[in-house]
Amino acid sequence: MSNPSLPTAYVEAVTALLGPAETEAFLASYDAPRTYGLRFNTLKIPPSSPAAGKLAELFALRPVPWCGTGYYYEESTRPGKHPYHAAGLYYIQEPSAMSAVELLDPQPGQTVLDLAAAPGGKTTQIAAKMAGQGLLISNEIHPQRARILAENVERLGIRNAVVTQAPPPALSARFPLAFDRIMLDAPCSGEGMFRKDPDAISEWSPEAVELCAARQWDILQDAVAMLKPGGRLAYSTCTFNRRENEDTIARLLAEYPFLRLIAEKRIWPHREQGEGHYVALIERDHDEKTPAISAAIANREGADAVRRGGRERNRKRGARSGPSERSAATAWDSFRAWAADELPAFAPPAGGTPLLFGEALYLLPASGGLALTPEHLTGLKVPRAGLHLGDVRKGRFEPAHALAMALSANEAAPRLWTLDAESPLVAAYLRGETLEVPASLRGWHLVTVACGDDQYPLGWGKASGGQLKNHLPKGLRH
């Protein structure tokens, strides 16, 4: 890409930030190749495991300095096309975007919100740090992006995440002062995307920057309302201007004296190997004496009005707005009976609440810091109400793909059918084809792919008569 394609107002803004000499180096970075990165999914593979070593060799990985599980790769190695990607062993993520969650540093057992979460890079990074303990709510207001977010949560085998599709005010009305950690990767003018996506340049203007800053300010009000005393909020963008970054944070600190800036980090593409990112870490006072809800909520409709409006909208749109009246307890018994026969080594996460949406049985995750109940979700669109265990159809239980991806090989043993990563049978399975298996093989089996000295799930198959019927969801076949 050539520098003259950049808007004059944008170049002037960068020059004001960096000075003329460094701006030259910054503009020259647009002629350099973009960077590519992936992050290991430590819910499946520890960084020191044989599987991690195999991936490092296979994709010629080089470490990202600000993320212990992040690595650069060369475009030609195409890890996104490999079966290990389908197995959820890693997440393809721009390297500088990994910096925000590293600064937020969520911990196991905490209650965490990712407020603008799609497509899922930061959600999956948060989930890995939480190690399956605590509660993660991942929200995305746009329907198509929320679906992609839910698919990535599923692919990486995350058990303790709820995916919601809600405007921030609907969440802040339900969850005042609820979260230990909040990640807000705010919608922005995308200046750090120009090298990756030249089309983004045509959408940029000084007016667009102002519109983004106004939207970010509105979302931040709800984020503050949901942050516990002593909690931390990471605010990030993939843009360079001060208006959406330092100026927005300065305004936030002036508006809310109980907030303080802990750290601030910028990544520039001419200084480090990344497309560019900004992140600020904010902490709320521990001993703050505030009302039960923050001032930001006082100017909005109350929780009851939000719930009533949400239910009405969902009824009009035919959306799934809450658990059905069918007995979740009966469905849970069906699952337990199935698991006793098919997955004797699997223990469901402790403390969860079974929820039934139509035929679909979910396990709503538990959190010590937030007593999450089905009522919290009433009136919300919920693409994923925790771990989807399976569906109860005509009195029979059929396991969900999400359950397959959340299992380890040990939990599914001995019901495993393992394929070599280079075998054409892996490609055949991912296309949705039926596989030939020994006639002695019967019942549900977890189809896995070998990596290092372990096996990792791709999905379910059901064996009968020498054939393994493919149960990979049609939308995931390729």
What DSSP state is assigned to residue 366?
A: P
User: Which whole-number Å values give the CA distances from 169 to 239, 302, 339, 370, in the listed order?
Assistant: 25, 10, 39, 18
Query: For the residues 312-332, what does the mean pLDDT come to?
Result: 58
Report how far residue 397's alpha carbon sits from residue 443's, in angstroms, rounded to the nearest whole number.
Answer: 13
- Residue 350's pLDDT is 73
pTM: 0.92
- How high is the pLDDT of residue 198? 84
Residues near 219 by beta carbon (within 8 Å), at least 6 away in sequence:
115, 116, 168, 184, 186, 187
Q: What are phi and psi of 266, to 5 degrees?
A: -120, 140
Torsion of Cα atoms, 221 then 225 then 229 then 234, to 10°: -50
The percentage of residues in the chain with a pLDDT greater than 90, rounded to a whole number, is 83
Q: Over the stretch 52-94, which tens digit does the pLDDT of each residue have? A: 999 999 999 999 999 999 999 999 999 999 999 999 999 999 9
Contact 358, 320 (CB under 8 A): yes
Query: Over the stretch 365-421, which tens digit does the pLDDT of each residue have?
Result: 988 788 888 889 989 999 999 999 999 988 899 999 999 999 999 999 999 999 999
The predicted model gives 95-106 an average pLDDT of 98
pLDDT, tens only, 200-221: 999 999 999 999 999 999 999 9
Question: How confident is the model at residue 3, as a pLDDT?
Answer: 52
**Amino acid 6: pLDDT:** 93
Mean pLDDT (the chain) is 91
Closest C-alpha to 91, from 119, 65, 115 = 119
Is the confidence at residue 30, as pLDDT, over 60?
A: yes
Q: What distance in Å separates the CA atoms of residue 373 and residue 359, rounded to the nearest whole number?
A: 19
Q: Is the pLDDT of residue 261 over 60?
A: yes
Interhelix angle 8-18/20-28, rounded to 10 degrees, is 120
- Residue 213 has a CB neighbour count (10 Å cut-off) of 22
Q: Check if the beta carbon of residue 189 is closer than 8 Å to that of residue 204.
A: yes
What pLDDT does residue 14 have? 97
Distance, CA of 457 to CA of 328 (rounded, Å)? 27
pLDDT for res 348 = 78
CA 332 – CA 397 distance, rounded (Å): 10
Task: Kindly state the tokens that stand for 200.
Answer: 């983004």
Confidence band of 326 (pLDDT split at 50, 70, 90): low
What does the alpha-carbon distance between residue 186 and residue 116 come to, in Å, rounded to a whole number?
7
Which stretches of 82-180 are DSSP H helices? 83-86, 99-104, 121-130, 143-155, 168-174
Please check the confidence at residue 180 and state whether its pLDDT lies above 60. yes
Extended strands (E) in 322-359: 353-357
The H helix count followed by the E strand count for the chain is 18, 21
Q: Which of 154-163, 340-349, 469-478 has the lowest mean pLDDT?
A: 340-349
Cβ neighbours of residue 127 under 8 Å, at least 6 residues apart?
Answer: 43, 136, 153, 156, 158, 160, 161
Sheet holding 90-92, edge to edge: 62-63, 70-72, 37-40, 90-92
pLDDT tops 80 at residue 118: yes
Give 360's strand partners. Answer: 357, 391
From 126, 120, 118, 115, select the one nearest 43 (Cα to Cα).
126
325 versus 478: which is more confidently predicted?
478
Q: What is the mean pLDDT of residues 189-196?
A: 92
Task: Let me know: does 104 contact 337? Beta carbons within 8 Å.
Answer: no
- One-character DSSP codes across 130-149: HTT-SEEEEE-SSHHHHHHH
Based on the number of CB atoms within 10 Å of its own CB, is 345 exposed (0-12), middle (13-18) or buried (19 or more)? middle
Half-sphere exposure of residue 284: CA atoms within 13 angstroms, side-chain side: 24
pLDDT higher than 50, residue 196: yes
Tokens 């009968």 locate to: 464
Neighbours of 206 (CB within 10 A): 15
> What contacts 83, CB < 8 A, 6 or more positions away?
421, 426, 427, 430, 449, 458
pLDDT at 306: 36
* Residue 331 backbone class (left: φ over 0; alpha: ψ -120 to 50; beta: rest): alpha
Peptide linkage before 414 cis (omega within 30 of 0): yes
Measured distance CA(54)–CA(456) in Å, rounded: 14
User: Per residue in 226-257, pLDDT tens?
Assistant: 999 999 999 999 999 999 999 999 999 999 99
Query: For residues 123 and 152, is the Cβ–Cβ distance under 8 A?
Result: yes
Q: Percent of the chain having pLDDT more than 70?
A: 91
Q: Which residues are catalytic?
A: 238
Residue 295 pLDDT greater than 90, yes or no = no
